[in-house]
Chains A and B, each alone.
Chain A
Amino acid sequence: MSSDPSELFDALARLQPADAEPAPISVPALVKQWLERGPAIFAGDDRETLEALCRQVDVRKKMSAGYAPGWKRLEPEVPAAPPVVSGVVAVLLANAAGVGEPGPDGARNDGWGLKCTNSALKALELNEHPPHASDLRVWAIDVLDRMRDAEEPR
């Protein structure tokens, strides 16, 4: 298993579909761009976009390949391919790099990172065999193991 997120990002970037169906919001295109950029904690527009993807996973329990503006469903709705799902999971877990340090606003843990990890675990269950599933699960559980507990000062 690769313990270096960059290596996993590279491996997943190589698995991304070459030709994605065009859509106003194309998840494969987003994932390809994010993976090529490397692991990072998002801010601004990227964070908003990732948050919208979390809502799809957490609330609708689906990830589609494309969405209409405002993250509305396209007809027909095509599920995101397994490598794309794995790519989203890796990006979510990279956003959890801050877990293990105190969070903002007096928080004991980084809420954004834990939210992303929560969505990552759910996303891994959307498909039967997303690539690198085991590595991604190990990563997710390692994030949870880094959480600061009650004994550590806020």
Chain B
Amino acid sequence: MSRTLPLTVLAWEGPQARAYLVRMRRAGLRAERVILMVRDPGAEKRGRPAGRPSGRAERAQDRSHNFHPYTIRKSSPEIVEAIGDAMAGIVEDPMGFYAEMFDGFSYGDHASRVVRVGANSYRDPALAAALEKSGAETVLFTGGGIVPASVFAIPGIRLIHVHTGYLPFVRGADVLLWSLLVRGRPGVSAFFMTPGLDDGDVLAAKELEPLRITLPAGSSNDADTLYRALFSFIDPLIRAELLVGEVLAPADDLGALSATPQDLSTGVTYHFMHPIVRSRALGELFTVPPLRAAGGSPGESGPSPAQYQKYYERTSARAPIRFAIDASRAKSSLRTRSIQNRQKDYSGLAGRPDLLALHRDMNRQLALQTERWDSYDYGEGYFYQSSDELGVTGLRDTAGRVETFGLKELVKGRNALEIGCNTGFLTLAIAPEAARVVAFELNPYLIAIAQAGADFLDVHNVEFAVAAFEDFEADETFDDVLSFANHHTYDGNTRQSLEEYFARCHELTRPGGRLIFESHPPEIEGAHFGETVKIIERFYDIERSEVHDYGTFLDKNRRFIVAIRH
């Protein structure tokens, strides 16, 4: 038997509104009324107000506003399970909760009455009119935009908002992530809204125990997916639990809720996080094991290069169509990008039989790699590095890297050693300026590609070798040792400590020679890159230390260091 509260839920379709209603129902509570805003994208595009809401518009809105939770539940169930495990300390049966939110959810099951209003935003006059007509006094805000003054002006209305920051200390946007970075734990506050930003009187507020989610090996760890998972499966439940547990369920009379003014002289108003800061914050919440432990083959997230081999025997009009379809179906954004870039490369092969033959040979090696290489594929079934000379778009911008760091000038006339050269496209780009380059890589298929590239470009001053750094031997030292994001590796193949790594670099650098170093992106380096720099400084004097914004998203904000051997 449920108790009906004199509460109107102003529902902006999405996980937040649904979580509140599910949690209320679990506590034996129903809202008196749900006012469901239904967008009309056609009218919105034409700059017109939303019309009468149709069932079709409502269903389309459901698919659109709940796209991320639906997609993540389907494509990455292991992420949802891992989150559910961690959330069991906050709500009862989280996996059941998600099922109630997303499997056959109906607003009518959670309220005595559902009023559908065609409104493309909170500014739509139809919304204020519907609220005023309803006579609603206590209204629950469920996100989706800024509430305009016209709504606050409705006589007798009070809006309740729940925000995942511990007031007054954490206000603004991305507050759950800011709470993790700044306060080390999630927080949540329910308060009466005002036209200001998170400054209303507080109904309930608390900080939770630190939350840590360990994702299983092999699960997606791209920041966008994890950010969307946060707002689909974590944030809404934290809000719902406080709202129902500490405000609605204990209240005898919603009209007499007691709230405490905030001390507005304290706390910080935060804004949406920059991607680098966001990655750090997500790193506070999610632990992702190295991909090597998964043992999963690179082909699992997309077609194997072997399936494309026929397109490199002779150019085909069908190939771009195949690439476009596969790109749209790829399971990760990186795999999508790799297939799209493959398509771009393919358009440059027409009328170039020499280049087509090269790509045929290189693709054959990629196919063999997919079949036989049991470790992480940085290129996602494609090429990690770009090469303008070889017609490869790649995932990283080789030309940008060479120009931004001034690599050609640095190695001019010198003998260089490149550690972990991947497909060697960077090596080949700088080799014409260098006296000689020795480049090694653990993956034999990538070395085969490197050699094919060297043959095509008629480059003769590079020696490519298959080797792990731990096993690499040389009876010479080099003017420059190039360490480009190999000091520790994402694939877990590194068997030496950072100290051992740089000690070996030092041994291979002639006295007065240089270490030319590139870090991983800051979100991979994490919080302890300072320690890496200190280790470098034990062996080298740092002459240049720079961070550049160039190239693709994989290139940006890496640290570049040039250091002289002690």
Contacts and interface: CB of A to CB of B under 8 A. Distances in A.
Contact of A106 (B183, B274, B276, B529): B183
Contact of B529 (A108, A117, A141, A154): A141
Given A1-B545, A55-B271, A107-B169, A141 B276 contact: yes
A141 B269 contact: no
A145 B527 contact: yes
A108 B276 contact: no
A38 interface: no
A141 B277 contact: no
Contacts of A55: 271
Contacts of A111: 169-170, 178, 182, 267-268, 270
Interface residues of A, number: 40
B184 A138 contact: no
B51 interface: no
Contact of A114 (B210, B277, B546): B277
B527 A112 contact: no
A143 to B, nearest CB: 10
Interface string A120-154: 01101100000001110110111011110110001
Given A109-B182, A147-B181, A1 B277 contact: no
B241 interface: no
Contacts of A26: none
Nearest to A130: B549
A141 B559 contact: yes
B559 A54 contact: no
B530 A144 contact: no
Contacts of B497: none
A61 B69 CA distance: 29
B271 A138 contact: no
B527 A115 contact: no
Nearest to A128: B549
Interface in B151-184: 169-170, 178, 181-184
A118 interface: yes
A5 interface: no
B181 A114 contact: yes
Contacts of B169: 105, 107, 111
A144 B271 contact: no
A135 B527 CA distance: 19
B270 A115 contact: yes
A112 B268 contact: yes
A51 to B, nearest CB: 7
Given A111-B268, A138-B546, A138-B547, A103 B182 contact: yes
A115 B268 contact: yes
B277 A150 contact: no
Of the candidates A58, A110, A118, the one having the most CB atoms from chain B within 10 angstroms of its own CB is A118
A45 to B, nearest CB: 14
A119 interface: yes
A18 interface: no
B273 interface: yes
A3 B487 CA distance: 24
Give the interface SS of chain A, mostly helix, strand, loop or mixed. helix
Interface in A14-46: none
B544 A144 contact: no
Contacts of B548: 133-134, 137
B557 interface: yes
A115 B184 CA distance: 15
B551 interface: no
B266 interface: yes
Contacts of B559: 138, 141
B547 A134 contact: yes
A150 B184 contact: yes
A82 to B, nearest CB: 14
A12 B12 CA distance: 47
B182 A144 contact: no
Contacts of A135: 546
Contacts of B527: 144-145, 147, 149
B277 A118 contact: yes
B335 interface: no
A144 to B, nearest CB: 6
B271 A119 contact: yes
Contact of B530 (A59, A133, A142, A154): A142
A122 B546 contact: no
A22 B149 CA distance: 34
A58 B271 contact: yes
B72 to A, nearest CB: 26
Interface in B306-331: none
A101 to B, nearest CB: 13
B547 to A, nearest CB: 4
Given A1-B545, A105-B169, A150-B184, A121 B274 contact: yes
A100 to B, nearest CB: 10
A1 B529 contact: no
B340 to A, nearest CB: 24
Contacts of B170: 111
Interface string B182-197: 1110000000000000
A118 B557 contact: no
The 10 closest A-B pairs by CB, nearest first: A58-B271, A137-B547, A108-B184, A121-B274, A134-B546, A111-B268, A111-B182, A138-B547, A145-B530, A118-B277
20 contacts: A1-B544, A109-B182, A111-B169, A111-B267, A112-B268, A114-B182, A114-B277, A115-B269, A121-B276, A137-B546, A137-B549, A141-B529, A141-B559, A144-B527, A145-B527, A145-B529, A145-B530, A147-B527, A149-B284, A154-B184
Given A103-B182, A107-B184, A145-B528, 10 more contacts: A1-B545, A107-B169, A108-B182, A115-B269, A141-B276, A144-B276, A144-B280, A145-B527, A147-B280, A150-B284
